[in-house]
Amino acid sequence: MSEEKIQDQAAESPETSDSSTPEEETAIMKDAANAKEDFKEPKKHQMPLAGQIFIALVCAIVVGMLIRNHADFAVTYIQPFGTIFLNLVKFIVVPIVLFSIMAGVVSMSDIKKVGFIGGTSLVYYMLTTAFATTIGLIFANIFKRFYPLLNTSNLSYDAPPKTSFMDTIVNIFPSNFITPMSEANMLQVIVMALLIGFAIILAGKDAQHAVGTINTWNAIFMKAMDMILRLSPIGVFCLLCPVVAQNGAMIIGSLAMVLLTAYICYVVHAVCVYSFTVSTLGKMSPIKFFKGMMPAMLFAFSSASSVGTLPLNMECAQKLGASKEVTSFVLPLGATINMDGTAIYQGVCAIFIASCYGIHLTLPQMVTIVLTATLASIGTAGVPGAGMVMLAMVLQSVGLPISGIALVAGVDRIFDMGRTTLNITGDASCAVIISHMQDKRNAKKAAKEAKVENAQA
């Protein structure tokens, strides 16, 4: 990953908040300058991170196939290093989301602006997710006849305790300052970040120092994340290799059709929906968009974590022209609540499980799936495997047997790699679009002000 952008963020932060002290500004600038020295361009012999990840991915598949008969070895000795990498990612995620959203809010220094960006992204996220589930249901119904009739007896799956809709809403709001962070409850962390960010804006001069401090900590955690991300090729290899070694061609074969359906939907959603929204609302060529997003997409594919991909996603979106102000707000929000890939997966799996059990779903039941999957994807954490847990909620909503999850659990990682890739691409498309809208609003405002000035003169 080219760390330059992230360091640029650190260097720019004090400007956006003209309230940091001169000492703080100098320190941040110095840090950023040092960092730039280190990271200017990848040294000639050094391959960009995206390339390294790609090679790790290919190696993981090749080695995984070679040690198919020693899957235990891969699980016992290779996977733990992948777990270490994921632990580090999880460790850094809470401070990253907390500080980047706070920094995003205070840099706007205008609650109306936050409202516009937050409101527009929320509408975009919800609509695209509902669309994604619908695409999933349509394709799953088309491919239904090719699904194998699997043996559904003796299946067991420990479903998470059922929570009511109102409880879900109540649980978004933290009752304690520390628990959301210690439990990595991302929705609560977002509420905390927004609340504190708004309070800083409203406190005005009294909170001037806090702005500089937030920007400083944001830069520090971004740098820490960057250090962790340098390990991602190793992490990717160690995570993927055991998956390939364990899930030989056989299990993939019996579930090939449902996997294929999900992947077709991921591609259709990306190519149709994002290309359309990015070109019409964001005025950007879809080819440019997907090309620019490639490093983040590759990383998401191998790490299966939206939140872990956040820093790289921010970098890619900013390189595509999205403003720092928008990306630092819209992307952490999206990594937590926007999961189009997960919604597709849930729609496809619901139909698959129903057909394995010989259950026919009615149209109202499908509508229920669209609504529940859209809500479930909001509550899905951006970490590997979270979507499968939320699938239980979708199945419950239409009375499908939760034990059916065991049918797809074996290959969940393969679903997850694709759905995470789509999840983060959706977040970035939103950032590009809102950034463009914001630019237009600013230009309009400037033109209006110029008109008034001219009239007064």
User: Which residues of this protein are in contact with ligand ASP, per CB under 6 A?
Assistant: 304-306, 339, 342, 380, 382-387, 416, 419-420, 423
As a whole number of angstroms, the distance between CA 450 and CA 192 comes to 38
3-state DSSP helix/strand/coil % of the chain, to nearest 5 = 80, 0, 20
As a whole number of angstroms, the distance between CA 159 and CA 391 comes to 10
Q: To the nearest whole angstrom, how small is the minimum distance from the Cβ of residue 389 to ligand ASP?
A: 8
Distances from the Cα of 112 to the Cα of 13, 105, 215, angstroms: 20, 11, 21
Residue closer to ligand ASP, measured from CB, 284 or 316: 316
Residue closer to ligand ASP, measured from CB, 52 or 305: 305
As a whole number of angstroms, the distance between CA 142 and CA 262 comes to 12
Q: To the nearest whole angstrom, how small is the minimum distance from the Cβ of residue 417 to ligand ASP?
A: 8
Q: To the nearest whole angstrom, how small is the minimum distance from the Cβ of residue 341 to ligand ASP?
A: 7
Residue closer to ligand ASP, measured from CB, 218 or 313: 313
Residue closer to ligand ASP, measured from CB, 226 or 416: 416
As a whole number of angstroms, the distance between CA 403 and CA 407 comes to 8
Q: Copy the structure tokens of residue 241.
A: 């290799």
Residue closer to ligand ASP, measured from CB, 303 or 355: 303
Residue closer to ligand ASP, measured from CB, 226 or 427: 427
Tell me which residue has tokens 């991170």.
Answer: 49
Is the Cα torsion angle 328, 331, 334, 335 positive or negative in sign?
A: negative
Residue closer to ligand ASP, measured from CB, 292 or 308: 308
Q: To the nearest whole angstrom, how small is the minimum distance from the Cβ of residue 13 to ligand ASP?
A: 27
As a whole number of angstroms, the distance between CA 71 and CA 64 comes to 8
Q: To the nearest whole angstrom, how small is the minimum distance from the Cβ of residue 335 to ligand ASP?
A: 7
Residue closer to ligand ASP, measured from CB, 13 or 232: 232
As a whole number of angstroms, the distance between CA 308 and CA 298 comes to 12
Task: Give the residue from 114, 106, 118 showing the smallest Cα distance to 14.
Answer: 106
Q: To the nearest whole angstrom, how small is the minimum distance from the Cβ of residue 367 to ligand ASP?
A: 22
Q: To the nearest whole angstrom, how small is the minimum distance from the Cβ of residue 188 to ligand ASP?
A: 18
Do 248 and 68 touch, CB atoms closer than 8 A? Answer: yes
Q: Copy the structure tokens of residue 206.
A: 């009294």
Q: Residue with the closest Cβ to ligand ASP?
A: 387
Q: To the nearest whole angstrom, how small is the minimum distance from the Cβ of residue 400 to ligand ASP?
A: 18
As a whole number of angstroms, the distance between CA 225 and CA 185 comes to 19
